[in-house]
Chains A and B, each alone.
Chain A
């Protein structure tokens, strides 16, 4: 189970510090990936982590963090139906945006259940659907994974992954590494970008 990060592992929230942190992380993953032979299981994981850290670093600079998250989901994890939920300062409502294939049923699931989606499983842990036998509430909404993210120790929102692409049978250990990266960096990246609520698809009252 992956829970709220300890203070020493919280990424910096200022733009320059965050960019530097992501650049160093990206270079480290690149080196690790290049040192491993292609037939090593971890090589592909390190390559994806490199690409993801690189995408977040660029996104922070360009103010395109939500797009980068959807890009990582689509191209590195294999999920094109995603939603990003961001709680507002007073914690009484949620702004949400969806990726390209996010559909009306999923939109309705978010509108009706945003509070429970944020709080289930438990709230400060990454939820990954365990398989067809998973009878949890999140699974019943068609959710494959829910990744919480934080800012200043307060839960700031979640990334919701709905259906995976047909060639993905489920999320594996490599995906879990990517989800951990998103869990740690989404909050600070969005904060450094001064989250633009006008770009969201809508609001839900909690």
Chain B
């Protein structure tokens, strides 16, 4: 399959107008996430650099999906996730944790905080697009 066909196939599978909140204090991770999602999807992207900013942006922007780092200054990803789940409008928004540690302890802690899924660093573009599409295409079809 050619590059153009591949991208076209991926993009037409997506709903336009859906928004993703990307949260990470690492500029390199955020850069890769933004570049990958801008080039290979049509979702609108909003970013935040720590947990507190993430909660504020989530309330203000009402994203369709949140992709959030765990270890961050001011408020970590688990606490930010718990905080977001207190708001009715954010209760069903898929939250995917981006963690550097895939051990069971952290994964359990993530699910207990209310996240739906997780991916491990270093970020893999294909895996990222697949998991994001998995949630958002299903969400678009159910609306």
Interface positions of A (Cβ within 8 A of B): 30, 33-39, 43-44, 47-48, 50-52, 54-55, 58, 71-72, 74-78, 80, 165-167
**B21 → chain A closest CB, angstroms:** 19
* Chain A contact residues: helix, strand, loop or mixed: helix
Which of A35, A44, A74 interacts with B125 by CB under 8 Å?
A: A44
The answer to whether B35 touches A34, judged by C-beta atoms less than 8 angstroms apart, is yes
The answer to whether B29 touches A75, judged by C-beta atoms less than 8 angstroms apart, is yes
Instruction: Specify which chain B residues have a CB less than 8 angstroms from the CB of A52 in the assembled complex.
Output: 28
Is B7 an interface residue, CB under 8 A from the partner?
yes
Which 6 A-B pairs give the minimum distances between C-beta atoms? A51-B28, A38-B126, A37-B6, A167-B102, A37-B3, A75-B26
A165-B125 in contact given A48-B32, A50-B35 (Cβ < 8 Å)? no
Question: Chain B contact residues (Cβ within 8 angstroms of A): what range?
Answer: 20 to 34
The answer to whether B100 touches A78, judged by C-beta atoms less than 8 angstroms apart, is yes
Interface positions of B (Cβ within 8 A of A): 1, 3, 6-7, 10, 26-29, 31-32, 35-36, 39-40, 100-103, 120-126, 129
User: Given the complex of chains A and B, what is the CA–CA distance between A84 and B126 in angstroms?
Assistant: 32
User: Given the complex of chains A and B, what is the CA–CA distance between A76 and B122 in angstroms?
Assistant: 5
The answer to whether A54 touches B28, judged by C-beta atoms less than 8 angstroms apart, is yes
Nearest neighbor of A77 in chain B, beta-carbon distance: B122
Q: Among B10, B122, B126, which residue has the most Cβ atoms of chain A within 10 A?
A: B122
